[in-house]
Amino acid sequence: MEIDNLENIEQPNKNFYIANQRLFLTYSSHIDKIKVKAYFVEKWKVKEMHICHENGDIQIPYMHSHVLVDFGKRFQSRNSRIFDWEGIHPHIKKIKTQKHIDNCYTYLAKEDPDCKYCLKLIKKGFLSSVWDAENKISAMENARNANDALAIEKLYDLKPNNTDDSWDSDEECRFKWWNWQLELINMTKNKPVEDNLVYWIWDETGRNGKTTFSKNMFLNNKQDHFYIGGLGSSRDVCETLIKAKKNGWRGRVCHINLSRQNDKLSIYNA
């Protein structure tokens, strides 16, 4: 998230309407942190608020302030001037996801020493919390409801060292990529121009490094790669991927490991 990219940010106009719980405001001066925070707390009983002073840079060549505010519930207004302070109208940016919030925390801490504490507010991703747990029982401590528990059980079983065909990651030290693997690595390094691309890797005999390749990419780059194996039906792929995305995975590449038995199934099998 580029905090200082002010393009596409709502400007005052007759059609102004905002309905968000969290906002990121940018004022074109160093506002009084104490007074502004006191005003927001008294007027709107905000749940959370952080104010950062930033000096000029190439993108914004003057002193300015950033305000991250969480109202605790959806804030609604048609008044485009509602956040004006001492005649200064702020740029307004909606904060919609936990990733955006964490990016804001990082940015505030980087720009203002007084906001270093924001780094401690960054939430560990749900997926990382599950995979870093010592065992499944510990992982279940991240569950807030029954749906979370079901997701945790499935996601924990997808850890490379918890799958039925697990492998020793020390193999990588002795492993040399084959040409087709190197080619695929290069193909998946960058986001594709198209929205989605599907690469079908198949061979008649097997044991040519497909599973090892997929698990290696997943194990060493969990942020971008995800691994799905041990499938019983096509529905397993959809359900597993949907749960992974709902619970924190924001990567680009999904490796689906199909066994020889899967060739008897069709996309319509459930």
DSSP labels for the chain?
A: --TT--TT-B---TT--EEEEEEEEEESS---HHHHHHHHHHHH--SEEEEEEE---SSS-S-EEEEEEEEEEEEEE--TTTT-BTTBPPEEEEE-SHHHHHHHHHHHHHH-GGGGGGGGGPPPPHHHHHHHSSSHHHHGGG-SSHHHHHHHHHHHHTSGGGSTT---GGGGGG----HHHHHHHHHTSS--SSS--------SS--SSHHHHHHHHHHH-TTTEEEE-S-SSHHHHHHHHHHHHHTT---SEEEE---GGGGG--TT--
Calculate the average pLDDT of the chain.
Answer: 78
Nearest 5 degrees, angle CA 120-CA 125-CA 127?
155
Domain boundary among 62, 92, 121: 121
In this structure, are strands 225-228 and 253-256 parallel, antiparallel, or unpaired? parallel
- Whether residues 78 and 176 fall in one domain: no
Say how far apart CA 127 and CA 92 lie, in whole Å.
31
Domain range for 79 is 18-121
The reported pLDDT for the residue numbered 260 is: 66
Closest C-alpha to 21, from 90, 97, 85, 91:
97
Q: What residues in the chain have per-residue pLDDT under 70?
A: 1-14, 57-60, 123-128, 142, 144, 158-176, 192-195, 230-235, 260-270
34 and 106 both lie in a single domain: yes
Last residue of a domain, one of 105, 121, 137: 121
Q: Provide the pLDDT for residue 45.
A: 94
User: Pick from 121, 142, 172: which residue ends a domain?
Assistant: 121
Do 104 and 187 fall into the same domain?
no
Is there a single domain that holds both residue 109 and residue 173? no
Please give the backbone phi and psi of residue 117, each rounded to the nearest 5 degrees, phi first.
Answer: -60, -20
| 26 within a domain of the structure (yes/no) | yes
Residues 6 or more apart whose CB falls under 8 angstroms from that of 85 comprise 27, 31, 36, 39
Q: Do 174 and 241 have their domain in common?
A: yes
Count of domains observed in the chain: 2
In a domain, 142, yes or no: no
What CATH number does residue 83 fall under? 3.40.1310.20
Put simply, whether the predicted model's pTM sits higher than 0.75 gets the answer no
Tell whether 183 and 85 lie within a shared domain.
no
Q: What is the pLDDT of residue 2?
A: 45
Per-residue tokens: 138: 């510990």
Same domain, 76 and 166: no
Looking at the domain assignment, is residue 7 inside a domain? no
Q: How far apart are CA 48 and CA 182, in angstroms?
A: 47
At 66 the pLDDT is: 96
